[in-house]
Chain A
Amino acid sequence: MRQRLARVLGGVAILALVAGGAAACKKEEPTTPGGSTVSGLKIGFFGALTGDAAGLVTPGKNGAELAIAEYNAANPGANVTLVPFDSQGSGDKAAPLATAAVADEKIIGVVGPAFSGESEVANPIFDKAGLPIITQSATRPSLNSKGWKIFHRGVGNDLSQGPAIGRYLKDVAKAEKVFLVDDQSAYGTGLRDEVEKVVGAAVVGKDKVTEKQVEFGPVVTAVKNSGATAVFYGGYTPEAAPFLKQLRAGGFKGTFIGGDGLYDANMLSVTGKADVEGAVVTCPCGPATAAKGNFVADFKAKFGTDPGVYADVAYDLTKVFLEGFKAGKTTRADMQAFLGTYNGVGTATGVTYKWEANGELDPAQVSIWAFVAKDGAWANPTQLPKS
């Protein structure tokens, strides 16, 4: 009896699955087959949308959504959609997602991948398919030298951010003893190398931690014994927040500085107001809350929060693709050519987007900013000198 019941239930479940699958497949059909060819185009958004690193990426996704909503409102019938690809910031998950993005022929451009590690996995796949990308936040310098024609970077790379951090340590923090820690990621190690070149002789110690590490006791001991007055961390918030917390618990009172990998709301909330106070982060992006035009008000109206890190950059980069659509660039090859000669000012960032042959943003347009944690918020945005 019981077995039969199980079989019946199983049968019903399978039927439901098949029916559901069929219904889902039907939805995939283009809804507007006739009309202009511009309708129903898609833009991919690639990065960590869930998981620990999502704090750095979701504001950008919201920025992209806002740009598309505005475009669709202004161009009835365009029906552009944003297709999110949630990599959780991990290189392991990047390959299948990139393959899926490439397979969807309606996707003409991708904003992202947000991180350098996943870029190294996904970009070769995009390059092979000729799907143009503009990353809003993958800042490892070497990404520009891999021969990917589709690669474009909408911000300065760590060759500008790293030295700026080094100069901040030397000139602003006046640190004579610096301890360098990195997380051995493509981004963290790269940034550490650039900082080290500038700080040079002031380095009194170095250590490497790993992704998902939670216990930093030995590193804290090493920092204290080195007598360092400043600690640089190259990596991302999930490890940096507990590390900083344990540093403070271990009595470290000096400067703590990191790159844009730490410039998110989680760094503040996970570390906690008291322990994060005074921590410095840099970003090749200005404060999104001070973006130009109506961006801040529109963003707030749509999402109910202030725009976070890279929201304005992703918004402007999405608009570059949308301008391409408007100009009739509806294939990947046309879009790629369009980006090559693009020269326009982003309405939110005020940056003139113009790319060099290797996909880097015009160096004249790069600016690095520093932010200081104050009372549980990133405050005092200051543009750092270029040399």
Chain B
Amino acid sequence: MNFDDLIQGFPDLTTTGLAQGSIYALVALGYTLVYGVLRLINFAHSEVFMYGTFAALWTWGLMGYDSNSARPDLGTALLLIVVSLVVASLFSGGVAMVVEAVAYRPLRKRNAPPLVFLISAIGASFVLAELMGAFTERRQQGIPGLLPTEPLFSAGGWTVYPLQLMTFVVALAVMFGLDWFVSKTRFGRGIRAVAQDADTAALMGVNKGRVIGLVFLLGGLLAGVAAVFYSMKQGNTRFNVGFLIGLKAFSAAVLGGIGNLRGALVGGLLLGLVEAYGAALFGSNWTNVIAFVVLLVLLMFRPTGLLGESLGRARA
């Protein structure tokens, strides 16, 4: 136990933990949305995220920025980030919808048992990952540095870097946007109706197929946003990056209460912080032990997660 490291590094660990947690939370939303509506763990979501990292990498490449490029000025950097956010979100959203159409919809039409969906999900995940692996020769690829690395501000031991702030702010904004979308708009009402009782919703005139497609699209869009920030933060990507972050994000979703949008946010941020503090306290090789012990203990006392309320019962 190294309390010195924890106390001395507390501000730094908090900011890095929150930035990492924001990324978990964005990915976790994809799991939670699909689970809320379909009671299905979409294991292929981690690959949807991974495709987003490559979409971002390729977008920057087409715009003339690779890992060897010098850092651009702030205006160019912001432009690059905005363009990649649009492209990566659409790409990930598209991949998510393809997964739904190919791996899940045919099964749903034939009323397959839940176990079959699970296998289909794992299969889709492998196919997507290996496809990208074969296509990129399993190489690790560097991401260009875009935002300046000088601290944005530091005060009283707290140092905040531009990327950290941006990740946190964008993640929060996107999540509030989603929350508003689900609770206030007509589409959102459809989502909640199907989540609550799919058959009754269908009788009331909600198009179930379209709602499910929309849910996958939303999850994919958010994964694309997460992918852009993850790429900038981690500085590289490869075909198998989805696995670990998918697992973490899924845990975050369960921690917050799966099926609950705000729960995913809380779960993601909490997991990011616990990892950072745990790593400082026990050493980096203990990170996952600490994170998952905390997860287990919390679930022991709150089996439905911290904010365990389902999407269907979320109040507007």
CB distance from A75 to the nearest CB of B (A): 34
CA distance A275 to B142 in the complex (A): 11
Query: Does A340 make an interface contact (CB < 8 A)?
Result: no
B20 touches A274 (CB 8 A): no
Number of interface residues of A (CB under 8 A): 42
Closest to B144 in A: A272
Interface residues of A (CB under 8 A from B): 50-52, 54, 88, 184, 207-210, 212-222, 224-225, 237-238, 241-242, 245-246, 248-251, 266, 269-275, 376
**B246: Cβ under 8 A from any A Cβ:** no
Contact of B149 among A184, A207, A210, A248 (CB under 8 A): A248
* Interface hub of B139, B140, B149, B280 (most chain A Cβ within 10 A): B140
- Complex contacts, A274 vs chain B, CB 8 Å: 68, 70-71, 145
The size bracket of the interface on B is 35 or more
Q: A210-B285, A269-B68 are in contact. Are A242 and B236 (CB under 8 A)?
A: yes
Residue B130 at the chain A interface, CB threshold 8 Å: no
Interface 0/1 of B2-18, CB less than 8 Å to A? 00010011001100110
| Complex interface: chain A residues within 8 A of B163 (CB) | 249
Name the residue of chain B whose CB is nearest to the CB of A212: B244
Chain B CB within 10 A, most for which of A214, A219, A220: A214
Cα–Cα, bound, A385→B13 (Å): 40
Please state if A221 and B140 are interface contacts (CB–CB under 8 Å).
Answer: no
- A184-B285 contact given A50-B137, A217-B16, CB 8 Å threshold: yes
Instruction: Tell me, in angstroms, the Cα distance from A274 to B148 when the chains sit together.
Output: 12
Q: Is the CB of B238 within 8 A of A52?
A: yes
Bound CA–CA A266/B137 (angstroms): 13
With a cutoff of 8 Å between Cβ atoms, the chain A residues found around residue B138 in the complex are 50-52, 54, 88
Select A218's contact among B19, B150, B151, B287, beta carbons within 8 Å: B287
A interface SS class: helix
Task: Tell yes or no: B295 within 8 A of A by CB.
Answer: no
Bitwise, B237-263 to A at CB < 8 A (1) or not (0) is 010110010000000000000000000
Judge if B187 is at the interface, Cβ distance under 8 Å.
Answer: no
| A215→B5 CA distance, assembly (Å) | 18
Q: Which residues of B contact A271 (CB under 8 A)?
A: 67, 142, 235
Q: Nearest-CB distance from B137 to chain A (Å)?
A: 6
The answer for the CA separation of A216 and B56 in the assembled complex, in Å, is 21
B20 & A208 in contact (Cβ 8 Å cutoff): no
Let me know if B200 is at the binding interface, CB within 8 A: no
Complex interface: chain A residues within 8 A of B19 (CB): 217
Query: Is B279 in contact with chain A by the CB < 8 A criterion?
Result: yes
Say whether B142 contacts A241, CB under 8 Å: yes
A217 & B244 in contact (Cβ 8 Å cutoff): no
Q: Is the CB of B140 within 8 A of A52?
A: yes
CA distance A214 to B287 in the complex (A): 12
| Residues A270 and B8 in contact in the complex (CB < 8 Å), given A221-B280, A249-B235 | no
Q: Which residue of B lies closest to A219 (CB)?
A: B284
A225 touches B9 (CB 8 A): yes
| In the A-B complex, the 9 residue pairs with the closest CB atoms | A217-B16, A218-B279, A245-B235, A272-B67, A270-B142, A273-B68, A208-B285, A221-B9, A221-B12
Contact A217 B285 (CB under 8 A): no
* CA–CA, A217 and B141, complex, Å: 20
Shortest distance from the beta carbon of A62 to any chain B beta carbon, whole Å? 16
Pairwise interchain contact A214-B68, C-beta atoms closer than 8 A: no
A266 to chain B: closest residue by CB: B140
Query: What's the Cα separation between A71 and B283 when bound, in Å?
Result: 52
Chain B minimum-CB-distance residue to A48: B138
CA A210 to CA B161, docked complex, whole Å: 26
> B234: CB under 8 A from chain A?
yes
Q: How far is the CB of B309 from chain A (nearest CB, A)?
A: 30
- A272 and B5 in contact, given A241-B142, A251-B151 (Cβ under 8 angstroms): no
Q: Is the CB of A242 within 8 A of B235?
A: yes
CB-CB under 8 A from A220, the residues of chain B are 16
